Amino acid sequence: MRDIKAMLPEEIEAALKEMGQPKYRAGQIFEWLTRGVKSFDEMSNLPKDLRAKLAEEFYIDGLTCLRKQVSQEDGTIKYLWQLRDGNAVETVVMRYKYGNTVCISSQVGCRQGCAFCASTIGGLVRCLEPSEMLDEVLYSQMESGLPIGHIVLMGIGEPLDNFDNVMRFLELVNHPKGMNIGMRHISLSTCGLIEKFDKLAERNLQLTLSVSLHAPDDETRSKIMPANRGRGVENLISACERYYEKTGRRISFEYAMIDGVNDTPEHAKLLAKHARRVSAHVNLIPLNHVDESKFEPSTPEHLKAFQKILRDSGVNATVRRKLGGDIDASCGQLRKKLATR
């Protein structure tokens, strides 16, 4: 059995051809899938015998909503979706002025081990399938009734540690006959798996690459982000430079401000140097609280002073607004959960 939601229209076309079916059916099937049907029987403009044949060769995956929380503060929605195998991941829908944005998970758990992040507790269980990531977007849109225009791959997991599936997901969600979400409306966030940067640059996608930098020097960065060990900040910035040159797309640096760890003026100056080198935009995020972690957010004064140093040296630095605070829906707070039933 093949996962039909992971297939592009031309692949469905080829499969239909092998079944001796007309290829125009592929477009119809792809459109039904984009509308979130759960079975071939719902595809009412297909002949009954074709529906039966399709059901023998393909399956249609879907998600089950285990929990939905809506923020009283700003309407942010956090979903816990159950996957076919009983695992579960969280997805967040944020309502920005420029449009509704979904923050999706790319793996069940994560093996990157960042010291301040809840998603990595318990390690990696498995990578998400392209259809599962697509369903996070599709089901969030259907369940919330909010049209989704933007996607950030900033939920649970490291997208570049699930490279092929994430690339396929991007093709699916970007497809003009599918959800048709523009690459410029998609951000992919990485802890810096630089060995994948050139491969990503080769695809020349117009998405925004967000690099979770969080520290400008090896000593600090390796302490809070194991992914830095054996790679190093200098190699990371060089990889960013090559990426920017190849794609012409500006990178953004994510920087969670952690009290007494990465928030001194020296850190700010070195960060400014890196950011200028690749014309990066810096997103400052006051660290979000995670119960299991000993880290605290920087004080508002430190944050302001830090931002001023960046700005004074010509770096575009903004502070990210926190959404969904009352439902633990912010960066680093999403968790993989096992279904209890």
Supply the residues annotated as catalytic.
90, 331
Q: Does 189 bind ligand SAH (CB under 6 A)?
A: yes
| 4 versus 104: smaller Cβ distance to ligand SAH | 104
d(CA 243, CA 208): 11
Q: Which of 114, 172, 268, 315 binds ligand SAH (CB under 6 A)?
A: 114
Q: Which of 135, 254, 263, 328 binds ligand SAH (CB under 6 A)?
A: 254
Which among 62, 46, 53 has a CA at the least distance from the CA of 5? 62
Q: Pick from 21, 131, 288, 298 the residue near ligand SAH by CB under 6 A.
A: 288
Of 177, 94, 107, nearest to 140 (Cα)? 94
Cα 292 from chain centroid (whole Å): 23
Q: Does 117 bind ligand SAH (CB under 6 A)?
A: yes
Q: Are 213 and 310 in contact (CB under 8 A)?
A: no
Q: CB neighbours (10 Å) of residue 292?
A: 9
* Contacting range for ligand SAH; rule: CB under 6 A; set: 47-55, 60-68, 78-86, 183-191: 183-191
**Residue (of 280, 281, 298) closest to 289 by Cα position:** 298
Tokens linked to 176: 């003009």
**Chain residue whose CB lies nearest ligand SAH:** 332
| Candidate list 285, 309, 315, 329; residue touching ligand SAH; CB under 6 A | 285
Q: Which residues, including other chains, have CB under 8 Å from residue 294's CB and lie 6 or more apart?
A: none
Q: Which residues, numbered 136-155, are part of the site for ligand SAH (CB under 6 A)?
A: 154
Q: Does 191 bind ligand SAH (CB under 6 A)?
A: yes
**Residues that bind ligand SAH in the complex, under the rule CB under 6 A:** 112, 114, 116-117, 154, 158, 189-191, 212, 214, 254, 256, 285, 287-288, 290, 331-332
